[in-house]
Structure 1
Amino acid sequence: MESKNNIQKHAIIAGFFVTSFFPLLIFSKSLFIDLCIQICDFGVFWNPIFWGILFPLFIIFLFWNTARKLNYSLDQTTYFQDCSQFSFGVSSKLIISLFTIYIIGQLVNGLSVVLKSQIPDIILFSILMILFLSFVLMILTFISSLIIVKASQNTQTLNQTK
């Protein structure tokens, strides 16, 4: 039973490391918060709380949930298949959630533009920002998946030899 929970523990630890830069960038004076605000503006009070605390906790939950689902096929597949499944599981849910956040933000806040001709440009640049943020998170997720799966496979082989 201990070996079954190792990948989940490793995923939570890796999730903390992946999301540790979010609060640092959000609560310091940087342009990163401007990027997040342009994806979706939750107001002056809620922006730091959402992007600095709730969104990183959501990413940690995604890591844990994907590792829990991957736990059952860990012994049947190869190392790179496990890494790819983990990375794809987390990355696809992140992209979908960022687009959902963007759409909800557009519906709640509305498009604040003067000219109707600027709407396609705003949507295009917002989608590019979402894809850039997703790309950075996908790279971090894939690197962490290499570590998570390797550490989990090592502990499972150690437990089998005992």
Structure 2
Amino acid sequence: MESKTNIQKHAIIAGLFVSSFFPLLIFSKSLFIDLCIQICDFGLFWNPIFWGILFPLFIIFLFWNTAKKISFSLNQISYFKACSQFSFGVSSKIIIALFTIYTIALFTNGISVVLRSQIPYVILYSLLMILFLSFVLMFLTFLSSLIIVKASQNRQS
């Protein structure tokens, strides 16, 4: 039971570390917020709240939930397999969430372009931004999974 809470504690700390980049980028008047607005536009008031507070909390929840799921098989599988399972579990849910957010925002806000011929380019550009953001999150997730699993396996042995 202690190993289960141990990996969850490490996952929450790593989730805080990974998600701390979002408020830093969102609230520092960078171009990053413009990219996030392109993914989904919740208005000028709700964008910093969503991308700076709610989305990082969602990432922390994903880290905790995935660590809870793999904690039972942590001793039975190898180090890199555990890291891969953790990072795949978190990254796949983040990508699905970003695509869902984009789709919902696309239907609720509509596509704000002048010409109908630009619609495929707007969608392609937004999807490329989602994939770039997902790639950055996958990289950070894999690095943090290396640390989480190593720390949890060291404490168990």
TM over 0.5: yes
Residue in structure 1 matched with residue 67 of structure 2 by the alignment: 67
Divergent runs of 4+, >6 A: none
Instruction: Count how many residue pairs are aligned between Structure 1 and Structure 2.
Output: 157
Deviations 1:56-97 (A, max 9, x none): 000000000000000011011000000000000000000000
Residue in structure 2 matched with residue 137 of structure 1 by the alignment: 137
Residue in structure 1 matched with residue 7 of structure 2 by the alignment: 7
**SS of the residue aligned with 1:112?**
coil
Deviations 1:128-152 (A, max 9, x none): 0000000000000000000000000
Deviations 1:71-128 (A, max 9, x none): 0110110000000000000000000000000000001100011111000000000000
Residue in structure 2 matched with residue 36 of structure 1 by the alignment: 36
Residue in structure 2 matched with residue 87 of structure 1 by the alignment: 87
CA distance in 2, matches of 1:44, 1:128: 22
Residue in structure 2 matched with residue 97 of structure 1 by the alignment: 97
Q: Is the 8 A contact 2:25 2:33 kept in 1?
A: yes
State the shift of 1:42 in Å.
0.4
CA distance in 1, matches of 2:94, 2:38: 17
State the shift of 1:21 in Å.
1.2
Residue in structure 2 matched with residue 155 of structure 1 by the alignment: 155
Q: Is the 8 A contact 2:7 2:149 kept in 1?
A: yes
User: Which consecutive residues of structure 2, in runs of 5 or more, have no partner in the other structure?
Assistant: none
Q: Does 1:51 align with 2:51?
A: yes
CA distance in 2, matches of 1:103, 1:151: 38
Q: Is the 8 A contact 2:22 2:51 kept in 1?
A: yes
CA distance in 2, matches of 1:4, 1:48: 34
State the shift of 1:4 in Å.
1.8
State the shift of 1:51 in Å.
0.2
Residue in structure 2 matched with residue 160 of structure 1 by the alignment: none
CA RMSD of aligned residues (A): 0.5
Residue in structure 1 matched with residue 111 of structure 2 by the alignment: 111
Q: What TM-score results when the alignment is normalised by the length of structure 1? A: 0.96
Q: What TM-score results when the alignment is normalised by the length of structure 2? A: 0.99
CA distance in 1, matches of 2:51, 2:85: 26
User: Which consecutive residues of structure 1, in runs of 5 or more, have no partner in the other structure?
Assistant: 158-162
